[in-house]
């Protein structure tokens, strides 16, 4: 394509971790965390050893999504990740009081981000999924520069605005030579549970179009579905709670494309 042959994956800088994959979005609320967690569980089901790092310092949601609240322990000076649903998990939300707003400024935030990468005993892992904070600010850059990412998955809703933001995210990764593994269209369709009619509440095909225009793979759509939200709120993501559902299958397709 227009961007030439992607460079070969660089070794990650996290001991014992083979690949680090960022899940990013241009703005908040598009389902990036929900996608991260279900993708992590779908990769686990492919037989990979998986970790998930919640790098959303200002809105950590991993503890809720995986139903964990225990404080991590220290061993040999390293923070031990929490094992939940068969994946290693760590979130700033487990290290601080989740009910207190984080009012840190840049250096403190970047320090915390580095800590989550370098002071957590992640290895051995096949893949570490990093649930990135939305947008393209300092934390994102720290992460991109320090973690040596193997690739990035961009989550977007079909709405144009979200796609414009998603384009910025894509450009950020490309600037630092991180391969774009693909674009996921979340909340892509709605199947009415009462009458079976399929509606495209946020429009349709936007992400697929943008993907081809941006020379990035389209990884498919995830439907807008009440079960996805309910299972996420209960700390039992849909890939785990309804492994054979069409919604779980949508996440599994993404996992296969990424693995
Ligand atoms: P982000 O990480 O982008 O801020 P979240 O993953 O936290 O977004 O999702 C925002 C809200 O939307 C959550 O309540 C989540 O349960 C819900 N949600 C995400 N994806 C879907 C989906 N495909 N269907 C229904 N609800 C969803």
Asked if 243 and 208 count as a contact pair (C-beta separation under 8 A), the reply is no
What mean pLDDT do residues 160-178 have?
84
Query: Does residue 154 have its Cβ closer than 6 Å to ligand 1?
Result: no
Query: Does residue 185 have its Cβ closer than 6 Å to ligand 1?
Result: no
Percent of the chain with pLDDT over 90: 55
- List strands edge to edge, sheet with 125-131: 82-84, 87-91, 50-54, 125-131, 17-24, 151-156, 180-186, 218-222
Q: What global pTM score does this model have?
A: 0.91
Query: Does residue 25 have its Cβ closer than 6 Å to ligand 1?
Result: yes
Query: 9: pLDDT confidence band, cut at 50, 70 and 90?
Result: low
Residue with CA nearest ligand 1 atom 9: 31
Tell me the average pLDDT of the chain: 88
Q: Please report the pLDDT score of residue 8 as a whole number.
A: 54
Structural domains present in the chain: 22-258 (3.40.50.300)
Q: Please report the pLDDT score of residue 49 as a whole number.
A: 98
Query: Does residue 33 have its Cβ closer than 6 Å to ligand 1?
Result: yes
Taking the centre of ligand 1 as the mean of its atom positions, its distance from the CA of residue 240, in whole angstroms, is: 16
Q: Please report the pLDDT score of residue 10 as a whole number.
A: 59
Q: Please report the pLDDT score of residue 65 as a whole number.
A: 96
Taking the centre of ligand 1 as the mean of its atom positions, its distance from the CA of residue 97, in whole angstroms, is: 23
Q: Please report the pLDDT score of residue 221 as a whole number.
A: 92
**β-bridge partners, 24:** 154
Query: Does residue 54 have its Cβ closer than 6 Å to ligand 1?
Result: no
Q: Looking up tokens 């300092």, which residue turns up?
A: 138
Query: Does residue 232 have its Cβ closer than 6 Å to ligand 1?
Result: yes
Taking the centre of ligand 1 as the mean of its atom positions, its distance from the CA of residue 239, in whole angstroms, is: 14
Q: Using one digit for the tens of pLDDT, what is the confidence trace for 93-114? A: 888 776 666 666 777 778 888 8
């Amino acid at each position: 394509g227009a961007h030439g042959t992607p460079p070969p994956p660089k070794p990650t800088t996290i001991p014992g971790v083979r690949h680090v994959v960022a899940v990013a979005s241009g703005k908040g609320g598009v389902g990036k965390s929900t996608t991260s967690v279900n993708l992590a569980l779908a990769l686990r089901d492919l037989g990979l050893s998986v970790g998930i790092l919640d790098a959303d310092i200002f809105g950590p949601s991993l503890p809720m999504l995986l139903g964990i609240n225990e404080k991590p322990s220290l061993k040999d000076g390293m923070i031990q990740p929490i094992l939940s649903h068969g994946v290693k998990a760590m979130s700033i939300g487990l290290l601080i009081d989740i009910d207190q707003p984080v009012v840190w400024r840049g250096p403190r935030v970047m320090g915390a981000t580095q800590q989550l990468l370098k002071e957590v005993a992640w290895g051995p892992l096949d893949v570490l999924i990093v649930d990135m904070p939305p947008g393209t600010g300092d934390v994102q850059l720290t992460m991109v520069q320090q973690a040596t990412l193997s690739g990035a998955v961009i989550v977007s809703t079909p709405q144009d605005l979200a796609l414009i933001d998603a384009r910025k995210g894509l450009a950020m990764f490309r600037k630092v030579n991180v391969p774009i593994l693909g674009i996921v269209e979340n909340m892509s369709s709605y199947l009415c549970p009462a009458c079976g009619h399929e509606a495209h509440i946020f429009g349709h095909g936007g992400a697929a179009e943008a993907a081809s225009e941006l020379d990035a793979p389209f990884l498919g759509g995830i439907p807008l579905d009440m079960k996805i939200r309910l299972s996420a709120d209960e700390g039992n993501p849909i890939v785990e709670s309804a492994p054979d559902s069409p919604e779980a299958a949508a996440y599994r397709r993404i996992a296969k494309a990424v693995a």
